[in-house]
Amino acid sequence: MKLNIDPDSSVPIYIQIEDRIHSMIAAGQLQPGEQLPTIRELAADIRVNLNTVARAYIELDREGVISTQRGRGTFVSDVPNKKQRERKRQKLLQSIVENALEETHHLGYSAEEIKKAFAEQLSKLPEKREEKLS
Amino acid sequence: MKLNIDPDSSVPIYIQIEDRIHSMIAAGQLQPGEQLPTIRELAADIRVNLNTVARAYIELDREGVISTQRGRGTFVSDVPNKKQRERKRQKLLQSIVENALEETHHLGYSAEEIKKAFAEQLSKLPEKREEKLS
DNA sequence: GGGAATGTAATAAATAACTATTACAATAGG
DNA sequence: CCTATTGTAATAGTTATTTATTACATTCCC
């Protein structure tokens, strides 16, 4: 579980956890039925209080995307069918790309510039597996 | 001045203001010498307390990107030369695209998928000038 | 049954962000 | 000089996030 949590970010840690798990499920990196790290495990892992992780899990449980069972653990919920999962996976990708393009466009960059920047960055992708976001 | 501030975001409003102004300057939408909205104007505009805008302006002033003068107003600082500005403009674009690609890649999307999603979104760009970010 | 591991809960304290309010200081313009 | 407009400042109060601590409830396994 590499959550990439940033404790110095201004977005609350429990929200970051929710977002990451949401994304990982949508992207298929967490499969239905799979067990998530223990609250205490994850808390120790990202150096955060137990309550903070618990809060994230509780919210995700309320939404139905995970299922927490005291004494047993926490598991990714089952999801209707493959088509829906695939649709969500596509939607997630689209929204990430779309938001980035909206931002560049809003700032007045031309389609040409954007296209070029994208092509450059994409060509670098394979060599950049483990790099961190600033 | 369309700052696109989201009062419900978990990132602090004064940080959002700083970020937007940074970006607009880097992108060339705010020119050196240009006057920024009054603290009270901007506060009223985005429905926020005067202190919140003041805080953002003070920080930006400390960084030197704007120059605040009591009794007169706030202005975009002069910047060394055109080449440096153009370099910053390029860097901003790169970082936006790069961050988005990092995220998709981190979530396991293939270069093919990403490329396709990007091409689709880019083709829609021209018709989406005034759309808001969710 | 007993113990270890799990999630759940409650309380208190610290910090940060934001608001509201009021006042002050410098500049521009009549 | 007077007044309006600008940025600056200080105080107090509210809310949200996070931590620390302690305890409880359920499940599993021996």
Q: How far is CA B106 from CA A52, A63, B42, B75, in A?
A: 24, 24, 38, 40
For chain B, how big is the Rg over CA atoms in Å?
17
The model's pLDDT over B33-44, given as tens digits with 9 standing for 90+, comes to: 999 999 999 999
B72: three-class secondary structure by DSSP? coil
Residues in Cβ contact with A5 at an 8 Å cutoff, skipping those fewer than 6 apart: A13, A16, A17, A20, A46, A48
Predicted pLDDT of residue B2: 83
Give ∠ CA A94-A99-A102 in degrees, rounded to 5: 120
Predicted pLDDT of residue A79: 72
Q: Do B122 and A100 touch (CB under 8 A)?
A: no
From the list A23, A100, A122, the residue facing B115 with the nearest CB is A122
CA distance B71 to chain A (A): 30
CA distance B69 to chain A (A): 27
Supply the DSSP symbol for A128: G
Predicted pLDDT of residue B85: 81
Interface of A with B in 53-82 (CB under 8 A): none
Chain B residues with CB-CB distance to A103 below 8 A? 96, 133
Q: Are B61 and B21 within 8 A, CB to CB?
A: no
Interface residues, strand C, Cβ cutoff 7 Å: A 10, 36, 38-41, 50-51, 54, 57-58, 61, 68-74; B 7, 12-15, 47-52, 55, 69-72
Sorting pLDDT into bands at 50, 70 and 90, what band is B25?
very high
Grouped pLDDT means (10 residues each) for chain A, 134 residues: 91 96 93 96 96 96 94 89 84 92 90 90 64 32
Name the more confident of B18 and B128: B18
Q: Are A74 and A35 within 8 A, CB to CB?
A: yes
Q: Are B128 and A48 within 8 A, CB to CB?
A: no
Distance CA B35, CA B40 (A): 14
List helix spans (H) across chain A.
Answer: 13-27, 39-45, 50-63, 82-106, 111-124
- pLDDT at position B16 over 90: yes
In degrees and rounded to multiples of 5, residue A18 shows phi and psi of -55, -50
The model's pLDDT over B66-92, given as tens digits with 9 standing for 90+, comes to: 999 999 999 999 876 788 888 888 989
Predicted pLDDT of residue B124: 78
List strand residue ranges (DSSP E) for chain B, in order: 66-69, 73-76
Interface residue B109 vs chain A (CB under 8 A): yes
Interface residues, strand D, Cβ cutoff 7 Å: A 7, 12-15, 47-52, 55, 69-72; B 10, 36, 38-41, 50-51, 54, 57-58, 61, 68-74
- pLDDT at position B125 over 70: no
Distance CA B16, CA B46 (A): 12
**Closest CA relative to residue A123, chosen from B115, B90, B108:** B115
Domain A13-76, CATH 3.30.70.1520 — does that match? no
Distance A9 CA to C20 C1' (A): 28
Q: Do B94 and A120 touch (CB under 8 A)?
A: yes
Task: Quote the tokens at residue A27.
Answer: 């992207």
Distance CA B113, CA B117 (A): 6
Task: Quote the tokens at residue A119.
Answer: 């092509």
Distance B10 CA to D1 C1' (A): 49
* A and B: number of Cβ contacts within 8 A: 111
Whole-number average pLDDT of chain B: 88
Task: Quote the tokens at residue B26.
Answer: 């880097």
